A and B are shown apart, each in its own frame.
Chain A
Amino acid sequence: MRNKILTVDDSKTVRIIVRKTFKSYDCEILEAANGVEGLALAAKSMPDLILLDVTMPVMDGVEMLTKLKSDPQLKGIPVMMLTAEGGRDHVLKIAKIGVRDYIVKPFEEDVLVEKAGRIIDLKPLVDGPAKARSLTDPATILVVEDKPAIIQQIQEGLKHTPWKIIGAATQGEAIDYCSKTPPDLVIVSLSLPEESAFALFRLLRTNVKTKYTPVFGLVVKTETGTLQQAQTVGFTTVITKPIDCSDLESRIAKAMNLDTSTRYFSIEEGFFVFKMPENCTQAVLAEIATYLKPKLTEAVDAGHNRAIINVSALRTLHMGVIKQLVQAMQLCRDASVNYVLVGNAQLVSECKGFEETRTWSFFETVEDARASFGKATAAPALATA
């Protein structure tokens, strides 16, 4: 459920600043201009947090706080003072009535978010309601590792992606970086000295800005104890050394909830192209299955009714691949999309060995396949699955 924050301040400026401060978090901001309005709104809305000024007309913050704390229904609502009244004696007097925190104006918006985040669960809003981030969007990945060679290996292995890989050698460097620019994902070596990977993980999880940032552990495969410990405390996943960069890339995409459909589907020169990768593991097939129908529908909706199913990169044919291809061809027929297949010599030969595939015809290249659509009778003749 959305958190509700009630700001009680006679200054509209402060109320606007509060609203602005929390605009990128999933919470509702309620406003009151004095203690009387504040109490009424608190009783009506039961906010999760009250930000309270002291000097206000009608009823000041001290009186409102006193009344709030003497009301059995309302006394449990956490209150954080946000006021220019900051003399030591004054703060002590108010603290005795019962407040969770005290911010003296002027204040930095980051400090307000951080302190509020210690009291309520502040979830960052996802940018935009519908459009998912894709593999082509830039992202920042922080790798915390005291061995430069590993950072270099990850940078090298992911250099074809639009992701920026930043290296940090220590927990301190990582914290400094995260406080300035929260990364999209963090990879931490679990072999950092003095278990600092786990301390860093805890710090990331207590900071509002990195609370939901995916954190990967990095460990040698044989370190099973450390691996289990990381899984237990809640690391998003654990990557084992030696690093398989292809696997790492997939896991990063999944953790960042990226739209990976561009790996398999595209529109090229007016054709809907479905390309099967070299190695079709169960995970890859599941990913393809997720996108196939929506992507084909999207293409048809955009006016594309010709498809090329390109399996020329595929290393070997197996039942999972065959099922996927049969499904793709069936969907094309259902959507009245003409399609052709492109495959390599080995695949053509392997197709002869299966009942389901022995009648399939393939073009050798995408260019040939594309050209075939110009010939009046070519496409239906090829689509004989």
Chain B
Amino acid sequence: MPAATHEISETLIRDNITRAVCDVFKTMLQRTAKLDQMSISGGPEECPPALRDENLSQKPQVVGTVGFLGDINGLIYLYFDDSFAKGCTGHLLGMSPAEVIEAGDEVINDAIGEITNMTVGSFKNGLCDQGYPCKLTIPSILRGSNFSIEPISDSLRFIYSFDAQGERLVADIILKVGE
């Protein structure tokens, strides 16, 4: 029986995504990440300008997506600036910047897909251990600039921005509201 999404507190979401992002960045990319801005749909605070839809993809983006299905259902989008995505790919695979460019978008997509998979996996493992069992979906990648992801009306949206040593990472979490 899916849990009513409104039962899940924002703190639980924030703590889990912060832990997941920090853990993946530290372990796989040897880079620290720190939560610096957030926006919650329907929340009391106004959405910071940097996290508004129209500003999320002003520069070319590589966005990894992984969903989770079970007692809680949702999707997480991780936004990487194109140059940051290339840097992460190089670090993860032990490749120079020139090698990453030569390897092409397919390799970058796969690397960002895997970073997203690990991050969402870590996020949802936290939810599982806190009583909301669910499973991961297969990652996919969205590329481009000047686009917006708009959730359907009966969903909750949480946007968190992280400072990863001077690079920005945005985690856009969309939860389907339960029955």
Which residues of A are in contact with B by a Cβ distance under 8 Å?
10-14, 16-17, 20, 54-57, 83-90, 104-108
Contact = CB atoms under 8 A, between A and B. Distances in A.
B111 A13 contact: yes
B78 interface: no
B92 A17 contact: yes
A29 to B, nearest CB: 15
A-B pairs with lowest CB-CB distance, top 10: A84-B121, A87-B128, A106-B27, A13-B114, A86-B125, A11-B114, A105-B118, A13-B111, A106-B24, A106-B118
A57 B93 CA distance: 23
B35 to A, nearest CB: 18
A13 B135 contact: no
B117 A105 contact: yes
Contacts of A54: 136
Given A55-B135, A85-B136, A11 B125 contact: no
A107 B113 contact: no
B28 interface: yes
Nearest to A105: B118
A8 to B, nearest CB: 15
Given A57-B138, A107-B27, A84 B120 contact: yes
Interface string B124-146: 11001100010111110000000
User: How large, as a class, is the contact surface on chain B?
Assistant: 20 to 34
Nearest to A84: B121
B136 A55 contact: yes
A89 to B, nearest CB: 6
Chain A binding surface SS class: loop
Contact of A20 (B23, B93, B110): B93
A13 B124 contact: no
B93 A13 contact: yes
Contacts, number: 71
Given A106-B27, A106-B122, A87 B111 contact: no
Nearest to B120: A84
B135 A84 contact: no
Contacts of B107: 12-13
Contacts of A108: 27
Nearest to B137: A55
For B92, B94, B117, the residue with the greatest tally of chain A CB atoms inside 10 Å of its CB is B117
A105 B121 contact: yes
For A17, A88, A105, the residue with the greatest tally of chain B CB atoms inside 10 Å of its CB is A105
A103 to B, nearest CB: 11
Interface in B1-31: 23-24, 27-28
A20 B110 CA distance: 16
Nearest to B126: A87
Contacts of B120: 84
Nearest to B113: A11
B104 to A, nearest CB: 12
A12 B110 contact: yes
A87 B129 contact: yes
B129 A14 contact: no
Contact of A10 (B23, B92, B129, B138): B138
B133 A89 contact: yes
Nearest to A55: B136
Nearest to A9: B114
B121 A85 contact: yes
A84 B93 contact: no
B93 A16 contact: yes
Contacts of B124: 87
A106 B21 CA distance: 10
A87 B122 CA distance: 9
Contacts of B111: 13
Nearest to A88: B129
A84 B136 contact: yes
